[in-house]
Amino acid sequence: MSFTEEIKKRRTFGIISHPDAGKTTLTEKLLLYGGAIQEAGAVKNNKIKKSATSDFMEIERQRGISVATSVLAFTYNNTKINILDTPGHKDFAEDTFRTLTAVDSVIVVIDVAKGVEEQTEKLVEVCRMRSIPMIVFINKMDREGKDAFDLLDEIEQKLNLHVTPLSFPIGMGYDFKGIYNLFEQNVNLFTSQSKQYKGETIAINDVSDPKLGSLIGEKSAQTLRENLELVEGVYPPFSRDAYLSGDLQPVFFGSALTNFGVRELLDCFVSIAPTPRPKKADEREVSPQEKEFSGFVFKIHANMDPKHRDRLAFVKIVSGTFERNTPYLHVRLQKKLKFSSPNAFFAEKKEIVDVSYPGDIVGLHDTGNFKIGDTLTSGETLHYRGIPNFSPEHFRYINNADPMKAKQLFKGIDQLMDEGVAQLFTLEINGRKIIGTVGALQYEVIQYRLEHEYGAKCSYENFAAYKACWIDESTAKPDELSEFKRVKQKFLAKDKSDQLVFLADSQFSLQMTQQKYPSVQFRFTSEKVG
User: What pLDDT, on a 0 to 100 scale, did the predictor assign at position 99?
Assistant: 78
Look at the domain 279-377 and name its fold: Rossmann fold (3.40.50)
b/e code 332-364 from CB counts within 10 Å (16+ = b): beeeeeebeebbbbbbeebeebeebbbbbbbbb
Tell me the per-residue pLDDT of 128-138, one tens digit each, with 9 for 90 and over: 888 899 999 99
DSSP label at 353?
-
pLDDT, residue 352, reads 86
pLDDT tens, residue by residue, 267-281: 999 999 999 999 999
pLDDT at 77: 87
Q: What are phi and psi of 33, to 5 degrees?
A: -65, -35
Are the beta carbons of 95 and 420 closer than 8 angstroms? Answer: yes
What class is the 394-523 domain?
alpha beta
461-479 burial code (b ≥16 CB/10 A, e <16): eebebbbbbbbeeeebeee
**Closest to 528 measured CA to CA, from 338, 300, 227:** 300
User: Smallest Cα–Cα separation from 96: which of 475, 483, 500, 390?
Assistant: 390
Looking at residue 239, what is its pLDDT?
Answer: 95
Find out whether 190 and 197 touch, Cβ atoms under 8 Å.
Answer: no
pLDDT, averaged across the chain: 83
Integer angstrom CA distances of residue 172 from 29, 144, 228, 514 = 21, 6, 16, 56
pLDDT tens digits, one per residue of 157-170: 999 999 999 999 98
Which stretch of DSSP H or E encloses residue 108? strand 105-111
pLDDT digits (tens, 9 = 90+) for 298-337: 888 765 555 555 678 889 999 999 999 999 999 999 999 9
Residue 46's pLDDT band, with cuts at 50, 70 and 90, is: very low
183 confidence band (pLDDT: 50, 70, 90) = confident
pLDDT for res 353: 86
Mean pLDDT, residues 458-462: 93
- Say what angle helices 118-129 and 148-159 make with each other, to 10 degrees: 60
Burial of 304-315, coded b for 16+ CB within 10 Å and e otherwise, reads beeeeebbbbbb
Average pLDDT of span 357-374? 87
HSE at residue 418, side-chain half, CA atoms within 13 A, is 22
Q: Is pLDDT of 525 > 80?
A: no
Tell me the pLDDT band of 476, cut-offs 50, 70 and 90.
confident
Question: 11 CB contacts (<8 Å, ≥6 apart)?
Answer: 79, 80, 81, 82, 104, 105, 269, 270, 273, 274, 275, 359
Residue of higher predicted confidence among 24 and 527? 24
- Residue with more model confidence, 350 or 500: 500
The four Cα atoms 218, 187, 164, 101 give a dihedral, to 10 degrees, of 150
Compute how many other C-beta atoms are within 10 angstroms of the C-beta atom of residue 157: 10
Element (H, E) at 216: helix 211-216
Task: Confirm if 374 and 360 have CB atoms less than 8 A apart.
Answer: no
Could you tell me the end-to-end alpha-carbon distance of the chain, in angstroms, rounded to an integer?
33
Which residues are CB-neighbours of 332 under 8 A, at least 6 positions away? 371, 374, 375, 529, 530
CATH architecture for the domain at 15-70+88-93+106-272: 3-Layer(aba) Sandwich (3.40)
The answer to whether residues 412 and 453 touch, using CB atoms and an 8 Å cutoff, is yes
State the pLDDT at residue 445. 81
pLDDT at 513 over 80: yes
User: Comparing 13-27, 131-145, 147-161, 477-491, which segment has the lowest mean pLDDT?
Assistant: 13-27
Domain ranges of the chain: 15-70+88-93+106-272, 279-377, 394-523
Q: In CATH terms, are 15-70+88-93+106-272 and 279-377 the same topology?
A: yes
With 60 as the cut, is the pLDDT of residue 248 above it?
A: yes
Alpha carbon distance 250, 243 (integer Å): 7
How far, in Å, CA of 53 to CA of 131, rounded?
30
Q: Are 276 and 359 in contact (CB under 8 A)?
A: yes
Handedness of CA 28, 362, 422, 97 (dihedral sign): negative
Outline where DSSP puts E strands in 332-393.
Answer: 335-337, 343-346, 349-352, 355-356, 361-365, 375-377
Question: Strand, helix or coil at 186?
Answer: strand
**DSSP secondary-structure letter at 237?**
P
